[in-house]
Amino acid sequence: MSRVCQITGKRVISGNNVSHSHKKTKRTFKPNLFVKKYYLEEEDRWISLKVSAKGMKIINKKGLSKALKDAAEKGYITKY
């Protein structure tokens, strides 16, 4: 699996390191990802998701089934 959050769709982006002399070199900004297991009550099973810290907050706020449904509609997750 790549470095992409399955709930929010956050992925690696690129930018510049800027030194004191303003010399710019390329760098990457990686999302704050975790592999977490969640219990899906509707299907009576555990699922493993790669989620960002923001994705965990969304799951806490909306609930797991609603967050998965929204992520599937936006195309961030295909199966779980």
Question: pLDDT for 31-73, tens place per residue?
Answer: 999 999 999 999 999 999 999 999 999 999 999 999 999 999 9
Residues 41 and 49: their CA atoms lie apart, in Å, by 15
Give the pTM: 0.86
Q: Return the sign of the alpha-carbon dihedral for residues 18, 32, 55, 68.
A: positive
Tell me yes or no: is domain 13-74 CATH 2.30.170.40: yes
